[in-house]
C-alpha cells in the first residue's frame, strides 16, 4: 500500500474535519438550522474550502449515509450460511434503527433520492442479498435481482416517509410486514402474522 503524500494527507484530514464538524452540528442543532458558515467556523476552514470538498450540506449527509452502509453491502454477500429471509430482516432492521436514531439526517437522505448523487447503499445491500438468495434457490429467479431490490427498497422507503410525516406506527414492525409481503406475497395460504 502506498503511503499518502503530505499534501494528500492534509486534504484527507481537512475533509474529515469538515465532515465531523458538520455532522456534530447537524445532530446538535438540526440539519436545516445549520449553515455552511457555522460548519466552516467550527472546522476552522474557509467557506471556499468547504465547497472544495462538499458541493452542498446534503453532500455531507450523502457521505455519512455511504459510510454508514458500506459494510452492509459486503455483509450481504459474506453470510451465505444465514437464510436470505434472515439477512434481509437483519439488514432492514439495521436500516430502520439508523432511520429512527438519526431521524432528521435520514429524512435528508430520503428527500434527496434523485439525481446521480443519491446514495445507493441500501439498494446495493439488498441486491447483494437477493442475488445470493437466487443463487441458493431461496428466491425465485423469475425476476431480475435489481428489480427485486428496487421493489423492496421502494416499499420500505415509502413506509419510512409515511412514518416520518405522520409520526404514527412502529417502523420496525411495518418494515417486517413489508418484508413478509415481499417474500410471501398475499396468497390466501399465508397464515396471519
Query: Among residues 16, 36, 54, which one ends one of the domains?
Result: 54
Residue 113 DSSP code: -
Q: Do 15 and 94 reside in the same domain of the chain? A: no
Angle (CA) 134 139 143, round 5°: 80
Alpha helix ranges (H) inside 44-120: 47-53, 57-78, 84-101, 103-111
CATH number of residue 2's parent domain: 1.10.10.60
Q: pTM for this structure? A: 0.75
The confidence score (pLDDT) of residue 105 equals 84
Q: Do 48 and 66 reside in the same domain of the chain? A: no
Residue 11 DSSP code: H
Q: What's the pLDDT tens digit per position in 97-141? A: 888 888 888 888 787 655 545 567 788 888 988 998 999 899 999
For the chain, the domain total comes to: 2
- Phi/psi for 45 (5° steps) reads -135, 165
Q: How far apart are CA 52 and CA 43, in angstroms?
A: 14
What range does the domain containing 30 cover? Answer: 1-54
Query: For residues 105 and 26, is the Cβ–Cβ distance under 8 A?
Result: yes
CATH number of residue 176's parent domain: 1.10.357
Low-confidence ranges of the chain (pLDDT < 50): 116, 190, 193
Q: Do 70 and 47 reside in the same domain of the chain? A: no
Q: Do 87 and 164 reside in the same domain of the chain? A: yes
Amino acid at each position: 500500500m502506498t503511503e499518502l503524500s503530505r499534501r494528500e494527507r492534509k486534504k484527507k484530514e481537512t475533509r474529515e474535519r469538515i465532515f465531523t464538524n458538520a455532522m456534530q452540528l447537524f445532530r446538535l442543532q438540526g440539519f436545516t438550522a445549520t449553515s455552511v458558515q457555522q460548519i466552516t467556523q467550527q472546522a476552522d476552514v474557509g467557506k471556499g474550502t468547504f465547497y472544495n470538498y462538499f458541493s452542498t450540506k446534503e453532500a455531507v449527509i450523502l457521505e455519512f449515509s455511504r459510510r454508514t452502509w458500506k459494510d452492509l453491502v459486503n455483509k450481504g454477500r459474506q453470510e451465505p450460511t444465514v437464510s436470505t429471509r434472515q439477512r434481509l430482516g437483519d439488514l432492514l432492521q439495521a436500516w430502520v434503527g439508523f432511520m429512527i436514531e438519526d431521524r432528521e439526517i435520514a429524512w435528508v437522505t430520503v428527500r434527496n433520492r434523485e439525481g446521480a448523487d443519491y446514495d445507493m447503499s441500501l439498494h446495493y445491500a439488498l441486491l447483494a442479498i437477493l442475488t445470493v438468495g437466487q443463487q441458493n434457490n431461496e428466491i425465485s429467479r423469475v425476476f431480475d435481482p435489481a428489480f427485486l431490490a428496487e421493489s423492496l427498497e421502494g416499499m420500505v422507503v415509502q413506509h419510512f416517509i409515511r412514518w416520518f410525516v405522520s409520526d404514527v406506527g412502529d417502523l420496525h414492525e411495518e418494515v417486517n410486514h413489508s418484508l413478509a409481503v415481499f417474500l410471501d406475497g398475499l396468497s390466501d395460504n399465508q397464515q396471519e402474522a
